[in-house]
Structure 1
């Protein structure tokens, strides 16, 4: 393995949520959360091997170290990488599998490798490369792994970044390697099934895909668009099968190269500011943590992503937000960061009548993301505004809002700016616009 040792002057123990990039989180049998992320540090390289953090509440994080001693030899030889990127960690039976990425910035001479461990804390054993790519060969960039298991029990590696788009490659559930690998433990060049891509006019800027099942059947694909450092944001689309085709709210396929690339995909999270709060810049590269089912049969789901500080975009950290589903199966994201023990989870207590929506709201609307930060605006919802909505239970509402067909979810949240319990709202209009809100005092 190749390793760059940590500088003695760097206190990694004090990092907490900072320097966590391209994160994914899992929960062990004891209820402890483990975060795995890219070997990133705002001031430069520290060392390679995949960063690990632990938490009891998904709010306060402790730096735990690295999964591996450095960049595994095969990955280093193929890519020249000094660190590992965008890990994906999944449990298969009693074994934890970690799919890590190795590459260098701006190149698609890349590889996704596989390591296994008996627990998230390790020890992790590298098993070799799963899929590779070369910069001079057209096709997907072999980074940004995500594993999805379909209803037939087939395992899929969803991967890709910029260049040739997002693909799905079938895996052997028993080994974790590609079903069409040339030999046991040998990598395949892919590419697999095309799921999403963007036009060269926007540099093909799509990456960090995560596929998750929709309630009632089908799949949603969560992807990140645009520039990592400034205009990064999260969009979604849905499909009947994990292999697509994925369509946004307006019916555009994510493989569509004819439509304006800014108009394809439904935006659910982008750079924004809440009144009195900081600017959260370029949120993205999201994974979804699905908790075990609760007493009401609704397993909590949380979007785990990185975000940059508006006053210093070189600084980045992990952030967690509640993910909710509309009554017709679209994933939407809370406007408030997750607050751990301060949150209320029992969906049976979520708003059940339209009257609970009446009041003063602070709203942010994600329409056509640009280089500007989405600013909040105030809106008072009155009886006549919410009357055309139908309450469907568990915080779900459907009907006309401002004359537009809208699916809406309202749920308890913690107002991070004002330090108080409140309600949050997230709504998807027929035109694909998403509006998120916080109920004000």
Structure 2
């Protein structure tokens, strides 16, 4: 990321062709008129850019128009605490008639960081600074105060935050003000840290960030979080818990705070770098948020162009839940209003699984770089023992060979094949070891 140099006029920066490009660490909301608003880090891969949180808008979550910046720059208290020249990873939530934006201020490689709050009557602004919520110091052990996510659990509000260094923590908020519950006064920050819910060992540089917690169907919570290198091996894993404050475990029952296990085996991978034959190479997807829009949930994340990793853009994918309550994501980018949101009409017959599928498998120990797709043929004879549970949910061993032959908890749904530019069935599935598979039927 390069920030605006002194003396450069922000008005000279041509954003007309940005669209969804340069959107990093994105979060999306929908206003009462049905317009979607995207907020993201002050990042631009090709030159100088001003600070203040980038804002985009869309009517379909596919085509984005750059709207401007939420703030005139880094708020003074955030700049004074951190020396930051730009803002990172904004989180925007609605509480009553007020929209709240939690921004992060920091510098690369430093734990001297701050999360602040701004409020507005509408996602388009105007945004008013309300001071700091939580801070951290590089020379003090504990979490890094960046990457905010707000969780509402009945009448209690929580801030999920943190990154490398001390891991992911949860801090309680005051629902009335949006500040930390134990803040010494309005606009004054708490010194955390709250509850530790996820952490990785120093052997992998503690590489974990960009957490997002959402409710599970039927109760409990799911933690969506990004692992590894931002520029190459970035990927998304999940864990679940009965409580917002943890503990969170993966499908194999491993605690996401486990520092003794092989760090490549903790957490269930749901999205990593991949390529379908004839399509673009998607590299390092991550820092995801989840937009709940009526009956559909969507994973909103950034991703890099495998042919030019300096280029990043926003991408939206359907998020679905298995029969036993695990969040998984579509192999295909969201295509907008043409997508089916009526789950009752999704495949409900085992025979619907027959066909030729192009599949990508995310092994827990093989999420580095890019995984290429491979073709599998699913026959009626190979579906013995597979059970259809309705609304696209299936359980059983239905992929034909290799480690993928293990019993899968799968969700099958209509999608838009971005490579062939046509409607197609897709699926996403996981097994009890934590391996994840997704793919699209091509014939």
* Same fold per superposition (TM over 0.5): yes
1:162 to 164, 177, 184: 164
1:360 equivalent in structure 2: 356
Normalised by the size of structure 2, how large is the TM-score? 0.96
Deviation at 1:346, TM superposition (A): 1.3
Q: Are the aligned partners of 2:283 and 2:369 in contact in 1 as well (CA < 8 Å)?
A: no
- Work out which of the residue numbers 25, 28, 40 in structure 2 matches 1:37: 40
Structure-1 residue corresponding to 2:209: 207
Q: Which of 313, 316, 334 is matched with 2:312 structurally? A: 316
Match of 1:122 in 2: 125
Contact 1:166/1:196, CA 8 A, preserved across alignment:
yes
Query: 3-state DSSP class of the match of 2:163?
Result: coil
TM-score, scaled to structure 1 = 0.96
CA–CA distance in structure 2, aligned partners of residues 401 and 276 of structure 1: 25
Give the structure 1 partner of residue 74 of structure 2: 71
Give the gaps of 5 or more residues in structure 2. Answer: 400-404
Equivalent residue, structure 1, for 2:134: 131
- 2:402 is aligned to none
Q: Per the alignment, in what secondary structure is the counterpart of residue 290 of structure 1?
A: strand
Aligned to 1:295: none
Q: Is the 8 A contact 1:426 1:434 kept in 2?
A: yes
Cα distance in 2 for residues equivalent to 1:319 and 1:307 = 7
The 3-state SS of whatever aligns with 1:384 is helix
The runs of 5 or more residues in structure 1 that have no matched partner are 293-298
Q: What is the match of residue 396 of structure 2?
A: 399
1:158-202 C-alpha deviation (Å, 9 max, x unpaired): 000100000000000000011111222210110000000000000
Number of residue equivalences: 433
Residue 344 of structure 1 and its aligned partner are, at CA, apart by 1.7
* 1:351 lines up with 2:354 in the alignment: no
1:7 is displaced (CA, Å) by: 4.8
Q: 2:58 aligns with which of 46, 55, 59?
A: 55
Which is further off, 334-343 or 413-422? Answer: 334-343
1:275 aligned counterpart, secondary structure:
coil
The equivalent of 2:16 in structure 1 is: 13
Once residues 369 and 216 of structure 2 are traced to their aligned partners in structure 1, the CA distance between those partners, rounded to angstroms, is 32
SS at match of 1:341: coil
What is the rounded CA distance, in whole Å, between the counterparts of 1:321 and 1:370 in structure 2? Answer: 19
Q: Which moved more, 1:90-99 or 1:179-188?
A: 179-188
Asked if the contact 2:291–2:300 (Cα under 8 Å) also holds between the matched residues in 1, the reply is yes
**How far off is 1:305 after superposition?**
0.1
Task: Name the structure 1 match of 2:90.
Answer: 87
State how far apart, in whole Å, the 2-side matches of 1:10 and 1:174 are: 38
Q: Distance in 1 between matches of 2:21 and 2:90?
A: 17
Superposed displacement of residue 14, structure 1: 1.3
State the alpha-carbon separation in 2 of the partners of residues 177 and 3 from structure 1: 30
Matched, 1:178 2:174: no
Instruction: For 1:3 and 1:419, locate their aligned partners in 2 and report how far apart those are by CA, in whole Å.
Output: 39
Deviation sequence 1:29-50 (CA, Å, 0-9, x none): 0110000000000024411100
Indicate yes or no: 2:387 matched with 1:387.
no
Contact 1:95 1:117 in 2 (8 A): yes
